């Protein structure tokens, strides 16, 4: 039986996501702090006796702490490796060997890694479920669950909404998971990339070819940066300039960028007075730098701190779901496609885990044929023209 790993947001069906949202809502209602409805005030014993290992090879505040808080509030325990400099990674130990060892210490692994595809590699070698806490610029599925839960609570639904994503759409892994999920729920997505940092070509291709989106020239949103494109559910019609329901902003991902950019959009009250943005819910995965005015923090449209606080009930619900189904057959993104090993061909993504010298033996190049003359890396899902 396949373990229920969560590597991509597409490893969860929409019905599974809805079930997780319902359970997270129940945790808020049953265990929440009366003074702060978005905060879990007490704990449960749903996962009593279970142990989670958090392996974080990159810095993290919200993701790691909310995972650990979630497990503790479920009645379980946590063991953590939060600094790669204090782990055997500095001695040259491979990720594959690490997860094989840690699988014997814990019932579940939450992993963050700077290399794209690292979570998929870990899932190949772990004997317990692996949850992707962010792998390079690839995906961040648990953040997307928090994002969708926030939108659902604040706007009442996901289908039919117009969501504008603004900022670094190239290196922002939160955006990549989010647009896939929004497309699946029937939302319209308008992209406004900063400094030419558009969605990766692979993400664009998947939205158009795998998620039934029609790509249109973007409408001017008045956000101070050129609009890239609008992706709407195929067959749906919209007006010339629909109002934005959600404005999702990301920071410049300097840790994954090859160069600095001089100008970056800034969201403030003046921007939100623009027609079409006046009722927009403002979201941000955090941390923020200078792109989000702190004066907005008291504005009722600012949802980013509530968004962050939902990380605990959402991850509680996710962990409970995964541990409950740890012996059940899991869905896997692209699992219906054949995978071929290509020892003489390498992934075109230089940051793919298969390009890591330490992981060379445990991550041999593998590809999925997704279309004629189009290969997708098994690990990082970067598409490459086939020979």
- More confidently predicted of 216 and 207: 207
Residue 274 annotated among the catalytic residues of the structure: no
59 with 182, same domain: the answer is no
The pLDDT tens digits of the residues spanning 214-253 come to 998 766 666 656 677 899 998 776 555 578 999 999 998 8
Write the CB contacts of 237 (distance below 8 Å, at least 6 apart in sequence). Answer: none
Question: Would the pLDDT of 375 be above 80?
Answer: yes
Nearest to 150 by CA among 312, 337, 353, 294: 312
The verdict on residue 195 lying in a domain is yes
pTM for the model: 0.91
Tell me, what's the pLDDT at 51? 97
Averaged pLDDT of the chain: 88
Tell me, what's the pLDDT at 328? 46
What's the whole-number mean pLDDT along residues 290-299?
Answer: 94
Q: How far is CA 89 from the centre of its chain?
A: 25
Catalytic choice (54, 63, 150, 230):
63
Tell me, what's the pLDDT at 37? 66
In this structure, what is the dihedral angle of CA atoms 294, 300, 305, 308, given to the nearest 10 degrees?
-140
The pLDDT tens digits of the residues spanning 26-38 come to 998 876 665 566 6
Strand runs (DSSP E) across the chain, as ranges?
Answer: 32-33, 36-40, 51-56, 77-81, 108-113, 130-135, 162-167, 188-193, 213-217, 229-233, 246-249, 281-283, 339-341, 366-371, 374-377, 383-385
377 with 254, same domain: the answer is no
d(CA 257, CA 56): 20
- How many secondary structure helices (H) and strands (E) does the chain include? 10, 16
The verdict on residue 147 lying in a domain is no
What residues are paired with 51 via a beta bridge?
A: 77
Q: Are 74 and 66 in contact (CB under 8 A)?
A: no
CA distances to 154, 228, 264, 381 from 166, in Å = 19, 10, 10, 23
CA distances to 12, 27, 56, 110, 147 from 381, in Å = 17, 34, 21, 20, 22
The verdict on residue 14 lying in a domain is yes
Q: Are 188 and 238 in contact (CB under 8 A)?
A: yes
CATH code assigned at 375: 2.30.30
The verdict on residue 330 lying in a domain is no
Q: How far is CA 22 from the centre of its chain?
A: 19
d(CA 140, CA 172): 9
d(CA 370, CA 334): 9
Q: Are 33 and 41 in contact (CB under 8 A)?
A: yes
Catalytic choice (5, 64, 112, 115):
112
Strands 229-233 and 213-217: antiparallel
Which two three-digit tokens encode residue 230? Answer: 């609008």
Residue 112 annotated among the catalytic residues of the structure: yes
Exposed e or buried b per residue across 144-166, where buried means at least 16 C-beta atoms within 10 angstroms of its C-beta: bbbbbbbbbbbbeebeebbbbbb
CATH code assigned at 129: 3.40.50.1370
Residue 62 annotated among the catalytic residues of the structure: yes
Least confident of 17-26, 215-224, 287-296, 310-319: 215-224
Question: Would the pLDDT of 64 be above 60?
Answer: yes
d(CA 107, CA 303): 33
131 with 172, same domain: the answer is no
22 with 101, same domain: the answer is yes
277 with 199, same domain: the answer is yes
Tell me, what's the pLDDT at 257? 67
Structural domain total, the chain = 3
The pLDDT tens digits of the residues spanning 110-144 come to 999 999 999 999 999 999 999 999 999 999 999 99
In 162-291, which residue ranges form alpha helices assigned H by DSSP?
Answer: 173-184, 201-209, 269-272
What's the whole-number mean pLDDT along residues 94-112?
Answer: 96
d(CA 99, CA 95): 6
Question: Would the pLDDT of 103 be above 90?
Answer: yes
Strand runs (DSSP E) across 303-379, as ranges?
Answer: 339-341, 366-371, 374-377
d(CA 349, CA 200): 11
Tell me, what's the pLDDT at 383? 94
115 with 163, same domain: the answer is no
Tell me, what's the pLDDT at 331? 40
Within 10 A of 387 (CB to CB), how many other CB atoms are there? 8
70 with 186, same domain: the answer is no
Residue ranges making up the domain that contains 107: 9-140+310-324
The verdict on residue 331 lying in a domain is no
- More confidently predicted of 78 and 222: 78
237 with 275, same domain: the answer is yes
The verdict on residue 149 lying in a domain is no
Question: Would the pLDDT of 55 be above 60?
Answer: yes
User: 3-state class of 85 per DSSP?
Assistant: helix
- More confidently predicted of 332 and 64: 64
Least confident of 92-96, 125-129, 181-185, 262-266: 262-266
The verdict on residue 146 lying in a domain is no
The pLDDT tens digits of the residues spanning 164-203 come to 999 999 999 999 999 999 999 999 999 999 888 999 999 9
The verdict on residue 332 lying in a domain is no
CA distances to 10, 181, 207 from 178, in Å = 10, 5, 11
Catalytic choice (62, 215, 301, 325):
62
Q: Are 40 and 316 in contact (CB under 8 A)?
A: yes
Q: What is the DSSP letter of 90?
A: G
What's the whole-number mean pLDDT along residues 302-317?
Answer: 95
Catalytic choice (73, 113, 138, 140):
140
* Per-residue confidence band for 255, with pLDDT thresholds at 50, 70 and 90: confident
Where do we find the tokens 């992706």? 231
Which two three-digit tokens encode residue 281? Answer: 């819910």
Tell me, what's the pLDDT at 90? 66
169 with 262, same domain: the answer is yes
The pLDDT tens digits of the residues spanning 1-12 come to 467 999 999 999
d(CA 255, CA 80): 23
301 with 314, same domain: the answer is no
Where do we find the tokens 């779901």? 321
Question: Would the pLDDT of 269 be above 70?
Answer: yes
300 with 374, same domain: the answer is no
Least confident of 233-237, 319-323, 335-339, 343-347: 335-339
Least confident of 268-272, 320-324, 359-363, 382-386: 382-386
233 with 259, same domain: the answer is yes
């Amino acid at each position: 039986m396949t373990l229920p790993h969560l590597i991509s947001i597409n490893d969860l069906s929409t019905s599974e996501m809805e079930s997780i949202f319902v359970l997270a809502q129940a945790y808020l209602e049953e265990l929440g702090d009366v003074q702060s409805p978005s905060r879990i005030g007490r704990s449960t014993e749903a996962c009593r006796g279970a142990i989670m290992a958090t392996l974080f090879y990159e810095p993290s505040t919200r993701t790691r702490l909310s995972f650990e808080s979630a497990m503790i509030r479920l009645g379980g325990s946590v063991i953590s490796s939060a600094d790669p400099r204090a782990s055997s990674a500095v001695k040259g130990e491979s990720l594959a060997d690490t997860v094989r060892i840690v699988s014997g210490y814990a019932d579940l692994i939450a992993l963050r890694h700077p290399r794209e595809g690292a979570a998929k590699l870990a899932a190949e070698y772990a004997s317990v479920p692996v949850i992707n806490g962010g792998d390079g610029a690839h995906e961040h599925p648990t953040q997307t669950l928090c994002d969708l839960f926030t939108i659902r609570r604040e706007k009442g639904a996901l289908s039919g909404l117009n969501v504008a994503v603004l900022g670094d759409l190239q290196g922002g892994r939160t955006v990549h998971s989010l647009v896939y999920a929004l497309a699946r729920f029937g939302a319209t997505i308008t992209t406004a990339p900063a400094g030419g940092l558009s969605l990766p070509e692979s993400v664009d291709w998947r939205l158009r070819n795998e998620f039934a989106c029609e790509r249109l020239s973007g409408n001017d949103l008045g956000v101070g940066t050129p609009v890239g494109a609008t992706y709407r559910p195929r067959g749906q019609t919209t007006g010339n300039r629909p109002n934005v329901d959600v404005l999702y902003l990301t920071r410049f991902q300097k840790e994954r960028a090859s160069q600095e950019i001089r100008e970056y959009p800034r969201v403030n009250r003046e921007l939100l007075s623009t027609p079409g943005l006046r009722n927009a819910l403002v979201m941000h995965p955090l941390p923020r730098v200078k792109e989000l005015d702190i004066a907005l923090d008291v504005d009722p449209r600012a949802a980013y701190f509530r968004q962050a606080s939902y990380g605990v009930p959402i991850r509680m619900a996710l962990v409970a779901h995964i541990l409950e189904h740890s012996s059940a057959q899991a869905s896997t993104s692209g699992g219906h496609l054949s995978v071929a090993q290509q020892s003489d061909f390498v992934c075109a993504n230089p940051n793919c885990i298969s390009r890591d010298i330490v992981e060379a033996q445990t991550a041999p190049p593998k590809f999925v044929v997704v279309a004629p003359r189009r290969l997708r890396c098994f690990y990082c899902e970067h598409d490459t023209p086939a020979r």
